[in-house]
Structure 1
């Protein structure tokens, strides 16, 4: 189990927001935290703590300069997502990203577009691709949601689909959308399922708020999944000490 840190960018600033409030014209984005520090500051912090595999997420337009600052500060150690396409993916790899993260580009019009996925693999290579299967529960099953988590796709996340999608990428990133950013505890059923189904490095995001939660997560997954934590961390306005999480995961790793 590794701790995978995050740098979420919105309007060019490092923020922690409730992701499920994005993408709606008639809703205000709920911000948990807006940092006074830039993306490079957090990239240096993660570099000093020897954390790799963290993700830089561009939430909407106007974030590319901040994202590039993070990638150039800590090259070949951070993954980047948000608006990634076959047309721009190689540029971010060349700018210092270890991987590009993709969801909506390959899951559009409510379904998985294998032509786009194959094009991405051809452009950057499987070894540089992370597929984000962020999902919500519907009728007792997990389905990928796209377009800033506003639309359900027809792609059910299960053992069979995980096995198929793993053949195209190096890692998986999965946000539990219903609990992400709310600091209310993890989506335990999803965590259990992912630990059973995945065979490549997989990072779970959503709801972890304490060391007790982290210990429970490790127990449920038997250390198989990686973890990312955002709003709960003290560096992002929460009460969970970032240094405690780093030390805990390093001991367990």
Structure 2
């Protein structure tokens, strides 16, 4: 079980949202590059970075520059998502050195473009499926789509994607526990490798996910619990 610490960027700063609401934001006064280096020093094997401004409104040059600095500062892979809407966006982040990019809104709205991305970039493309009560939400979790999370998971599998990052947005940033059951359902129905995201609050969540890895969950993104000191990254890595 791979534990992936998260850095969410808003206007170049580390933040965490609650349930994805842009109005419910907490700023952490730490330089994102220093945070990334501390995660690497603690033993992380990958870092997950999100451009929240990009997710809501489109690419943000400040955040993109910060991501580039992070990639240059660490030696471990960086996975990036948020505001990737075109081939140019994806190409730019890969040229910056992102090991993998996570496509969200575009995967739900344009299956043809997703297939093109897979043809062009292969395993460097992962799909972020964000859901509220089982229904896909896009555009920074502000628009509900007519497709269910499981239907989208099956569709992206058909497109040739091999990894899904699944987030239950009702739990994200709430420290109420990860939705293991729904995450397993996404893995089973798609047959893909799945990264769990949203709601991790304690080491017990890491243990529950590890116990459920036979269904296809092989990694978990952890954010607010680390920033709030619920447990350390070293503790999570030892359990995983």
Equivalent residue in structure 2 for 1:127, among 123, 130, 133 = 123
**Superposition TM-score, scaled by structure 1 size:** 0.82
SS of the equivalent of 1:64 reads: helix
Aligned in 2, Cα 1:54/1:202: closer, same or farther, shift over 3 Å? farther
Shift of 1:75: 5.2
Aligned in 2, Cα 1:197/1:4: closer, same or farther, shift over 3 Å? farther
Shift of 1:76: 6.4
Contact 2:42/2:234 (<8 A) preserved: no
Q: Structure 1: which 5+ runs fail to align?
A: 23-28
SS of the equivalent of 1:88 reads: helix
Aligned in 2, Cα 1:217/1:231: closer, same or farther, shift over 3 Å? same
Aligned residue in 2 for 1:118: 115
Aligned residue in 2 for 1:25: none
Aligned residue in 2 for 1:42: 35
Higher helix share: 2
Q: Aligned partners of 1:133, 1:114: CA distance in 2, in Å? A: 13
SS of the equivalent of 1:134 reads: strand
Q: Aligned partners of 2:102, 2:49: CA distance in 1, in Å? A: 9
Shift of 1:67: 1.3
Equivalent residue in structure 2 for 1:211, among 189, 193, 203 = 203
Q: Does 1:179 align with 2:171?
A: yes
Q: Aligned partners of 2:203, 2:155: CA distance in 1, in Å? A: 34
Q: Aligned partners of 1:246, 1:58: CA distance in 2, in Å? A: 25
Q: Aligned partners of 1:122, 1:227: CA distance in 2, in Å? A: 26
Q: Aligned partners of 2:180, 2:41: CA distance in 1, in Å? A: 32
Shift of 1:19: 4.2
SS of the equivalent of 1:181 reads: coil
Shift of 1:44: 1.7
Contact 1:191/1:221 (<8 A) preserved: no
Q: Aligned partners of 1:104, 1:195: CA distance in 2, in Å? A: 20
Contact 1:134/1:144 (<8 A) preserved: yes
Aligned residue in 2 for 1:200: 192
Q: Give the alignment's Cα RMSD to 1 decimal.
A: 2.1
Q: Aligned partners of 1:169, 1:195: CA distance in 2, in Å? A: 13
Equivalent residue in structure 2 for 1:148, among 128, 140, 145 = 140
Deviations, residues 160-213 of structure 1 (Å, cap 9, x unaligned)? 643431243242111111111001122243133134234333111111211122
Aligned residue in 2 for 1:30: 24
Q: Structure 2: which 5+ runs fail to align?
A: 54-59
Aligned residue in 1 for 2:102: 101
Contact 1:205/1:227 (<8 A) preserved: yes
Shift of 1:49: 4.1
SS of the equivalent of 1:130 reads: strand
